[in-house]
């Protein structure tokens, strides 16, 4: 497997690259900063797909969803998109298995209500493990990553 980190040092055209479903989803965000982050992440996904697989222009990719909601494309390219705050990650692999690859980025901030969050989402075994961790917050977020996967 080859891992390549793609990034954008300069601005690129975002307008007219999203499809109607993506535009509708973007319009549904109440706050402009969330809408802008969504638009950038999905435009970047399309740009990366077209760069590494120049079968189509950025606006020509069609996305579908599995029964569990995971997006996929029909061109035997597995991809995964994650974005948080100002970070975006796109993972690609040539595969007919739409779940062949995954990526996750998270931007963490200190939580004032960490203990109530732990009580709400952690299993008793996880709570026991957190009791002996030097950094409860970092460990809590580490536990959360596997729970988010499809």
Nearest 10 degrees: CA dihedral of 6, 12, 13, 18?
20
For 58-94, write each residue's pLDDT tens digit: 999 999 998 988 899 999 999 999 988 788 889 998 8
**In whole angstroms, how far apart are CA 115 and each of 14, 135, 140?**
41, 13, 10
Encode pLDDT of 102-116 as tens digits: 888 877 777 788 888
Average pLDDT over the chain reads 85
Q: Where are the alpha helices (DSSP H) in 53-135?
A: 114-121, 124-131
Residue 103, pLDDT score: 84
Please name each of the domains of the chain with its CATH number.
Answer: 20-94 (3.90.470.20), 114-148 (no CATH)
Tell me what pLDDT residue 106 has: 75
């Amino acid at each position: 497997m080859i891992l390549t980190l793609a990034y954008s040092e300069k601005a690129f055209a975002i307008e007219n690259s999203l499809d109607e479903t993506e535009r509708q989803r973007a319009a549904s965000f109440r706050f402009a900063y969330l809408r802008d982050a969504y638009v950038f992440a999905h435009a970047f996904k399309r740009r990366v797909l077209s760069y590494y697989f120049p079968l189509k222009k950025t606006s020509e990719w069609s996305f579908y969803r599995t029964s569990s909601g995971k997006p996929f494309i029909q061109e035997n390219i597995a991809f995964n998109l994650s974005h948080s705050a100002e970070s975006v990650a796109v993972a690609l692999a040539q595969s007919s298995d739409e779940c062949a690859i995954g990526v996750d980025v998270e931007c963490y901030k200190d939580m004032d209500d960490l203990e109530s969050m732990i009580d709400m989402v952690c299993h008793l075994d996880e709570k026991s493990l957190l009791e002996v961790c030097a950094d409860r917050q970092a460990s809590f977020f580490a536990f959360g990553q596997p729970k988010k996967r499809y």
